[in-house]
Structure 1
Amino acid sequence: MFRTALRNVLAHKARLLMTVLAVMLGVAFVSGTLVFTNTISEAYQKSSAKGFDQVDVALQPDRSRSTGDKVRARPELKQALLDKAAKTPGAETAIGVVNGFTAIADKDGKLIGGGFRSQGGNYWGTDDPRYPLVGGHAPKGDNEVLVDSETARRAGYRVGDTVRISIDGPVLTPEIVGIFTTDDGNVAAGGSLALFDTATAQQLFHKPGAYDEIDVKAASGTSQTALRTELDKILPADVTSTTGKQLADEQARQIADATSSLRTFLLVFAGIALFVGTFIIANTFTMLVAQRTKELALMRAVGASRRQVTRSVLIEAFAVGAVAAVVGLVAGIGIGAALRSLVSGLGTMPDGPLVISPGTVVAALAVGILITMLAAWLPGRRAARIPPVAAMNSVHAQATTRSLVLRNTLGALLTSAGLVTVLYATTMDATDAQAPMGLGAGLLVLGVFVLTPLLSRPLIAATAPVLRVFGVAGKLARQNSVRNPRRTAATASALMIGLTLITALTVVAGSLGNAIDKMAASALKADYVVSMANGNNLSPDLEQAVKSADGVAASSPLRNAPSRIDGKTEFLTSVDGSTIGELTHLTVDDGTFAVGGTRIVVDDRTAEDHHWSAGSRFTVNYEDGKQQQLTVAGVYQETEIMRGIMVDTATLAPHQSNPSDMQIMVKMSGGATDSARSTLVKALGDNPAIKIQDKKDISDSIGQVFTTVLNMLYGLLAMAVIVAVLGVINTLAMSVFERSQEIGMLRAIGLDRKGIKRMVRLESLVISLFGGVLGIGLGVFFGWAAGRLLGTKMTTFELILPWDRMALFLALAAVVGVLAALWPARRAARLNMLTAIKSE
């Protein structure tokens, strides 16, 4: 039986090629994902570990904790503590660390580093061991700066050049006096790093005489634990100590968590491709077993047991899966290497070797072999249960009424359960509904797959009027499509799954884009919103610059400050009470929209939490420890852009030690025009770190995230569509082979080669469109269900059906059908009619 199984594999090499390709693509995706994520994880971990070479113990302020009615301010690390740390027994050196956002412009005035990764810090003394100089000298004074070598290379900067820099608003133009190397992960990921002398850094980052961290290096012979024990003796209660090893381990854990999320995300799509491939494998082995029914029956007649027959099919599957897994592993290693080279070329990843772990090899082989054997088990088991006499007479060919009733009943139950679960999930909170929604979607897809043979007859029958135009070829194509409903179902389902996911994503993304546009238009009257490129706060000086610019009709800063109200931490948003009504469009449910003095307005959700209404009074505890009684003038409806407790800037500012603005809203006398934008740009010093956005820009910036993710998901789901195409080709090719005699007869009675090609192509087109219609229908339903959940979080969400995209997807299904039929149709047309008629 073993030799027979291997002989059958070698005898059907061409027929099994598509199966090997389907499994290989899925395995390549899995192994490529593992190789890539393992490589970047190890590269970042090694890079981060180097960054802690000069740190044996780090002293950091304890995180701010608020208790009772007091807001606890973040403690500062002063020079006195640094001096004590340097003199601690076992300490060799102590370095004070200052850091903050620092935007660097290139020679064209554009921001380097993507905003979030643009950092600045201090260079310690004249020789900082953390940042080896490769040219120039240490900075001194506010007119000198160092830049990292990668930023200098990307922007073409050299020692002696002048560079434009922004910390929180005003533009600085210091001279580059040195270039240094660093193992900083942000720089490795495409960011930038600028270094000032310590006094300048403290002044620029609003930390005069204070540090963000103190790094202590242990003397020779002193362990990190021993040094930490000595340092703990001098530390105040609001300062914590951490060993360098703990910091490196924590950063390694964070990197591992980040790459784990990426790995999981990519493996989901690899799983989808493998799931789709399972249909192809099952289809292939079903057809192969059907073609060898008499052979298997003869083996049963001469003494082979049911187990031996099943085992022979599984041996074939093992051989096919092993070959596909090995090829897929090699291809996956290539994919991982290509992705590593691509990311490294973009400057977003530190250098490191390609990591091919034993786990990756085992996972690839296990996935390829197990998936193939699992898909082949049912056809093998079904073949073994056919009585030899019945197999000899082909009595087994048609499914029994009992099996069809059982299948349709099971499919109806699964579909109903999935439908009910999804509908129930739409009534739940979005956070709690994720698991039920996923379960219901899985059950519904599985149920529709089981019911697909039943659905194929009426849906394909609906194409009869169109196919009738093609004459005999069209009629034969329709009959062939429903001749074996199970095979048609398995072939169409592979395409259905891919299009279901693509359609659902498109529906949700289109609806979200519309909701975002409505959100910006409905909540803002302001023409522009000014903010930092990285989301950090703006200097208060910029609000004055905006207010004094030509053509500005009204403006208001938005500032956040922590407070304690009724024993809970609440963030206050300060605005210019005299102009905020001209800059926003908020619906007031209770009272009036009036901000000034002790009068505030609050969103409906916060009001409900505190049981407030118009006229309610409460006591607020500010961050400086002082208290004040405020009155609720009005309650407004929360939006995605405006929410929280609004107080007047003049009321809050005296209680803030270092006020800064999140945004500045601006209304121009002539509206949002190119000249108005240019006026604001000029008023703000042509600063590369500052964004000036109108309503459309705000919508586009939020929508761009969804568009990028959507395009990436399209690319990943394309793998499933490619596998589905292979499935259609495989099914048609094997269908042509088993219908050789029939095709020969059709040729003999007058159907020419063009008619044969047309028949096969139309059959492929019908099957593909059938899968496309099911996929688009399910996708719209899932998009609606997901939209119901999003609607609970976004008041402007409304389901929008992208008819043009759905028409494109249906056309894509048709193209898949036409392309998939090219080779099988050509093969059918080239059959010798006499040889075909004589074939068994």
Structure 2
Amino acid sequence: MLRTALRNVLAHKARLLMTVLAVMLGVAFVSGTLVFTNTISDAYQKSSEKGFEGVDVAISPDDSDDDSANPGEPPRLSQQVLDKAVKVPGAASAYGVVYGFTAVSDRDGDLLGSGFSNVGGNYYPGADGKDPRYTMTKGRAPKSAGEIALDYKSADSGDYQVGDTVRLSVDGPVRNEKIVGIFDTDDGNVAAGGSLALFDTPTAQKLFAKPGQFDGINVKAAPGTSQDALKSAIDKVLPAQAKAKTGQKLADDQAEAIKQGMSSMQTAMLVFAGIALFVGIFIIVNTFTMLVAQRTRELALMRAVGATRRQVTRSVLIEATVVGAVAAVVGLAAGVGIGAGLRSLLNATGAIVPDGPLIVAPTTVLASLLVGVVVTVVSAWLPGRRAAKIPPVAAMNSVHATPTTRGLVVRNTIGALLAAGGAAAVIAGAGMGSDGKAPMAFGAAVLVIGVFVLTPLLSRPLIAAAAPLLRIFGMPGKLARQNAVRNPRRTAATASALMVGLTLITGMTVIAQSLQEGINKMASDGLRTDFVVSMGGANGSRPLSPEVSQTLAKLPEVTAVSPQRPSPARVGGDNGVLTGVDPKAIKDLVNVDFTQGSFAGLGGTKVVIDDKTADEHHWKLGSTIPVTYEDGTSGKLTVSGVYEGNQMIQGVMADSATVTPHMSTVTDTQVMLKIKGGATDANKDLLKKKLGENPAIKVQTKQDISDEIAQAFTLMLNMLYGLLAMAVIVAVLGVVNTLAMSVFERSKEIGMLRAIGLDQRGIKRMVRLESLVISLFGGVLGLGLGVFFGWAAGELVATELPTYELVLSWDRLGLFLLMAAFVGVIAALWPARRASKLNMLSAIKAE
């Protein structure tokens, strides 16, 4: 039986090649994902470990929640803490760390390092005049205001040399600094493509903190002193709201953070690999069904001479094991290439990855082999079992056992129950808000399974609906329709493979376009402002200097301007934020509806709050709210209005003149303004010019804000399209497989058609139309399920985004249906050509 199984593997090379390709694509994506994520994780981990090589103990502010402390960030570390730390037993040296956002422009005024992060820090010379974190390769370290040192990668990108003047920005206003040094570093941000500018310590403290303050202190242990011993000694001199960690603990925490960060990416990519493998299952089942059908008499003869059912099934599974092993090995090799290619692609996008070797872990090899073999064997088990059950006499007489009426009734009943139950669970989940995710996911899986089971039943009426169009093509069209429903189970399995990909593509498109519409409506409904000015940066909103709003307010063209100035505070006993605004201008810049009061009362100690906050604390118009400001000062606030909050405008708004005196560092998140002439390109250019053509400052209209938010969804959607393209490719192989099977089974019939006058062109058209009908059948099912799932998921989104509304892009849906038709046309090329080339006499004589 083993020799027979191995012989059969080699006897059907073309058929098995398609199975190998289907499995290989899924395995390649699994192994490629593991190689890529392991490589990136290892590179970042080693880079971070290098950054901690000179750190035995790190001291930082303790940001743990403490209601007894003042609201906001914990206080920075003082010079006194540094002086005490360097004097503890076992400490060899110590230096203070100061850092913050610093945007450096190139010679064309564009931002350097925008692909990752833009950071500024301090150069802290030790007793030898050097900072252990940085090695000067050219020039010297900065020693006074007006001087900086730049990392060598940014210097190369910006074509800067020692002695050049560079434009940069820390919090808004443009600064012109002289480059006095270029350095090398193991800093992970630089290794990943970010920019790093170094100032002397007093200048860095003035820019990012306050004189004499540090964001962190790193201590080096003396020879013979362990990190734990040094930490214990330092713990004794630490002030309140400060903590110490060993360098090893920092490295371990960083490694864990990197691992968790990569985990979500790995999970998402493995999901799509699973989808491709799932689609490949249909191809494998069809392939082995076809191979078993071709060998029906052979298997019957084996049964007649003494082979048991178990041996027949085992022979099919041995074939599947060999095919799966070959596909797994080839897929693993292809996956290594995919992993390397994804890393290069990531570098090409600007998100530069630290250097490091390509990691092919033993778990990757094992997972690839197991996935390839297990998926193939499991998929081949049903055809093998079905072949073993055919009675030998019936098989030798070519009397194939067709599904019984009872079997079809049972199948359709089960499918209907699953589909109905799944749809009910999805609908119920859609009405449960944020609690409906689990029921909806479960219902979606059950519904898809139910549709799979029902697909043979659905194929006849849906394909029959295409009959009027097929009649246009005459006899080939009529034959194509009959051939498509001749074996409903096989046709259904092929259509289901395409349905999976289109369901996901359609569902995600519906959600993404509906989100875009909701975001546009949110911006237009929530804002009246013409422009919003904020700091750029890859890592989100950055502090903006109050000088920006002051500069804008002085422009004669600006008619109204207000900053959004967040100030940490304890409001009503809870830690939160007071947002300082201009009480006179804010009513012209935001668009909110008040349920109580209005903006008219805003000012002094009177505030306005959103309705959710009011309901949560049972506040209403005239309520008195106790408040503790950032500096620890206590006071009372009075509610002068309650408004309906939205995603753009929410929280507690207060007079900026009230909160500013209590802030340790006065910064804004953004500035809203109205200008004569409205939101025109000329006015945008005017504002940029007045703000110094600063590459770090964004001047945006409401539409710009919507587009920026939607850009992330668009990028993600395009990535998902690319990932799902693999599932569509596998589905194409499935259609090719089914048509090849159909041509083989109908060789005698095709020969007869040729003999009675149907020419080669008619044969090709018949096969192509059959492929087109099967693909469109899968496309229609996919579009229907995708729209349904898109609607259901949108109901959950709407609970978080009230402006969300369902958008069906008919042109995009039509494009997907055309794509399904294109798949059918492409997949039919080889089977149609093969059918037309059959020798009619040989085909008629075929068994």
1:315 corresponding residue in structure 2: 318
Counterpart among 548, 551, 563 of residue 545 in structure 1: 551
* 1:720 matched to 2:740: no
- Runs (5+) with no aligned partner, structure 1: none
* Residue of structure 1 aligned with 2:408, choices 404, 409, 434: 404
Q: Distance in 2 between matches of 1:692 and 1:296?
A: 75
**2:569 is paired with a residue of what secondary structure?**
strand
Give the corresponding residue for 1:117. 117
Q: Does 1:582 align with 2:585?
A: no
Instruction: Report the equivalent of 1:52.
Output: 52
Which residue identity does 2:846 align to in structure 1?
Answer: S
Indicate the residue corresponding to 1:388 in structure 2: 392
Q: 1:327 aligns with which of 310, 320, 330?
A: 330
Distance in 2 (CA, whole Å) between partners of 1:778 and 1:173 is: 58
- 302 and 12 in structure 1: CA distance in 2 versus 1, 3 angstrom threshold: same
Distance in 1 between residues matched to 2:556 and 2:596, nearest whole Å: 37
Q: Which residue of 2 aligns with 1:429?
A: 433
* Unaligned runs of at least 5 residues, structure 2: none
The offset of 1:222, in angstroms, is 1.3
1:9 positional shift: 0.8
Equivalent AA in structure 1 for residue 99 of structure 2: N
Which residue identity lines up with residue 368 of structure 1 in the other structure?
Answer: G
Provide the C-alpha distance between the structure 2 equivalents of 1:491 and 1:115, rounded to a whole number of angstroms: 43
Aligned partner of 1:660 in structure 2 is: 667
Q: In 2, Cα distance between the equivalents of 1:340 and 1:601?
A: 50
* Alignment counterpart, residue 713 of structure 2, candidates 695, 702, 706: 706
**Deviation string, structure 1 residues 331-363 (Cα, Å, up to 9, x no partner):** 111111222233345461011011111111111
Q: How many residues align?
A: 839
Tell me whether 176-185 or 339-348 shows the greater mean CA deviation: 339-348
Alignment of 1:76-87 (within 5 A): 76-87=76-87
Following the alignment from structure 2 to structure 1, what is the Cα–Cα distance between the partners of residues 184 and 742? 64
Residue in 2 that maps onto 1:754: 761
1:350 counterpart letter in structure 2: P
1:559 alignment partner in structure 2? 565
AA aligned to 1:413 is L
Mapped to 2, the partners of 1:598 and 1:198 lie a distance apart of 39
Counterpart residue number, 1:6: 6
Task: Tell me if the contact between 1:90 and 1:218 (Cα under 8 Å) persists in the aligned partners.
Answer: yes
SS of the equivalent of 2:592 reads coil
Q: TM-score, normalised by structure 1?
A: 0.98
What are the equivalent positions in structure 2 for 1:105-254 lying under 5 Å apart? Answer: 105-114=105-114, 117-125=117-125, 126-254=129-257
Q: Amino acid of the residue matched to residue 706 of structure 1?
A: F
Structure 2: how far apart are the matches of 1:589 and 1:292?
A: 77
Deviations 1:771-798 (A, max 9, x none): 0000000000000001111111111111
Match of 2:796 in 1: 789
Alignment of 1:780 with 2:784, yes or no, is no
1:812 aligns with 2:819: yes
SS in 1 for 2:800: coil
* 1:115/1:613 CA distance change after superposition, 3 Å: farther
Distance 1:370 1:87, change over 3 A: same
Distance 1:313 1:802 in 2: 47
Among residues 619, 623, 644, which one is paired with 2:651 in the alignment?
644
Alignment of 1:344-359 (within 5 A): 344=347, 346=350, 348-359=352-363
Specify the alignment match of 2:693 in structure 1.
686
The residue type equivalent to 1:571 in the other structure is: V
Q: Is the 8 A contact 2:102 2:170 kept in 1?
A: yes
Alpha carbons of structure 1 residues 838 and 824: separation in structure 2 relative to 1, 3 Å:
same
Equivalent residues of 1:103, 1:115 under 8 A apart: no
Q: Distance in 2 between matches of 1:326 and 1:116?
A: 36
Does the aligned pair in 1 maintain the 2:98–2:209 contact within 8 Å? Answer: no
Listed one character per residue, the Cα deviations across residues 520-552 of structure 1 (whole Å, up to 9, x for unaligned) are 111111100000002111111111001012300
Mapping 1:607-618, distance limit 5 Å: 607-618=614-625
Name the SS of the counterpart of 2:826 in structure 1. helix
Q: Which 10-residue stretch deviates more, 385-394 or 810-819? A: 385-394
1:23-47 Cα offsets, whole Å, 9 max, x none, are 0111111111111111111111111
Which whole-Å CA distance do the structure 2 matches of 1:688 and 1:69 have between them?
38
Asked if structure 2 preserves the Cα contact closer than 8 Å seen for 1:69 and 1:621, the reply is: no
Q: Equivalent pairs: percent with the same residue?
A: 65
DSSP 3-state at the match of 2:88 = coil
Aligned to 1:372: 376
What is the aligned counterpart of 1:460 among 443, 459, 463? Answer: 463
Where do 1:829-840 residues align within 5 Å?
A: 829-840=836-847
Q: How does 1:408-423 map to 2 (within 5 A)?
A: 408-423=412-427
Look up the SS of the partner of 2:134 in the other structure: coil
The SS at the match of 1:132 is: strand
Aligned partners of 2:123, 2:284: CA distance in 1, in Å?
A: 62
Which residue matches 1:38? Answer: 38
Question: Helix, strand or coil for the counterpart of 1:433?
Answer: helix
Name which of structure 1's ranges 106-115 and 659-668 shifts more when overlaid on structure 2.
106-115
Q: How far 1:161 sits from its partner (Å)?
A: 0.8
Alignment of 1:221-300 (within 5 A): 221-300=224-303
Q: Residues 598 and 232 from structure 1, CA distance in 2 versus in 1: closer, same or farther, beyond 3 angstroms? A: closer
Once residues 72 and 527 of structure 1 are traced to their aligned partners in structure 2, the CA distance between those partners, rounded to angstroms, is: 31
Aligned-partner SS, 1:483: coil
CA deviation map 1:284-316 (0-9, x unaligned): 111211221222112111111111011001001
Task: Determine the structure 2 residue equivalent to 1:499.
Answer: 502
Match of 1:674 among 678, 681, 685: 681
Between the aligned partners of 1:737 and 1:71, the Cα distance in structure 2 is: 77
Paired residue secondary structure (1:17): helix
Paired with 2:566 and 2:594, the residues of 1 have a C-alpha distance of: 22
| 1:241-267 CA distance string (max 9 Å, x none) | 100000011101111111111111111
Partners of 1:614 and 1:633 within 8 A in 2: yes
CA distance in structure 1 between the aligned counterparts of 2:424 and 2:681, rounded to whole angstroms: 53
- 1:565 maps to amino acid: V
- Cα deviation, residue 120, structure 1: 0.6
Q: Is the 8 A contact 1:98 1:213 kept in 2?
A: yes
- Is 1:765 the equivalent of 2:772? yes
| Residue 490 (structure 1) aligned with residue 493 (structure 2) | yes
Of stretches 107-116 and 596-605 in structure 1, the one that deviates more from structure 2 is 107-116
Aligned to 1:65: 65
Kindly state the Cα deviation for residue 80 of structure 1 after the two structures are TM-superposed. Answer: 1.4
Alignment partners' CA distance in 1, 2:518 and 2:807: 10
Q: Which letter maps to 1:586?
A: V
Matched letter for residue 409 of structure 1 = T
RMSD over aligned Cα, in angstroms? Answer: 1.3
Code of the residue aligned with 1:386 in structure 2: it is I
| Separation in 1, partners of 2:243, 2:641 | 44
- The answer on whether the counterparts of 2:171 and 2:544 sit within 8 Å (CA) in structure 1 is yes
SS of equivalent to 2:528:
coil
By how many angstroms is 1:72 displaced? Answer: 6.5
Matched-pair contact (CA < 8 Å) for 1:69–1:565: no
| Alignment-mate amino acid for residue 366 of structure 2 | V
Matched, 1:443 2:446: yes
SS at match of 2:166: coil
> Displacement, 1:680?
1.2
1:588 maps to amino acid: F
The match for 1:732 is 739
CA distance in 2: counterparts of 1:725 and 1:465, whole angstroms: 26
Kept in 2: contact 1:549–1:680 (CA 8 A): no
Q: CA deviation at 1:465?
A: 0.4
The one-letter code sitting in structure 1 at the alignment partner of 2:142 is P
Deviation of the 1:70 alpha carbon: 5.4
Maintained 8 Å contact 1:344/1:350: no
